[in-house]
Amino acid sequence: MMKIRILAFFAKLMGIQFKIDGFPYGATKSDEREQQKQLIGSSSPIEKKEKWVIEKTGEKFFFTRWLGDQVHESYAPVSQDVAGIYAAAIVQGFQPPRCLNYLDKLAG
């Protein structure tokens, strides 16, 4: 449960929305509306908004990157441990790592 709370904290921090068993966590529609109002009020042109969606189905997490209203990238389902690493990378401005391997244990 603590890992889900940490993911929810990161999601709220970065404006990311994710779902657990169909229930959304993180950014809400009202948050998105406020951000859109701020963009419209500024003099800069509106750019395509990047959004990450994290969905939990059973024991697996699915990461999807949206640009505007289109899916730009989808990632294979991962375990909760790997999902934490993916979320940390996204929050820091990186893409999720493509290949994670567990360390070999020393014989002894």
Q: Please, are residues 35 and 15 in contact by the beta-carbon 8 Å criterion?
A: yes
Does pTM top 0.75 for this prediction? no
Q: Which residues pair with 23 in a beta bridge?
A: 20
Q: Residue 52's closest CA among 77, 33, 31, 27?
A: 27
Q: Residue 50's closest CA among 98, 83, 93?
A: 93
State the CB neighbour count (10 A cutoff) for residue 30.
Answer: 8
Question: For the segment 29-85, what is each residue's pLDDT rounded down to a tens digit?
Answer: 555 566 566 655 555 555 678 899 999 999 999 999 999 889 999 999 999 999 999
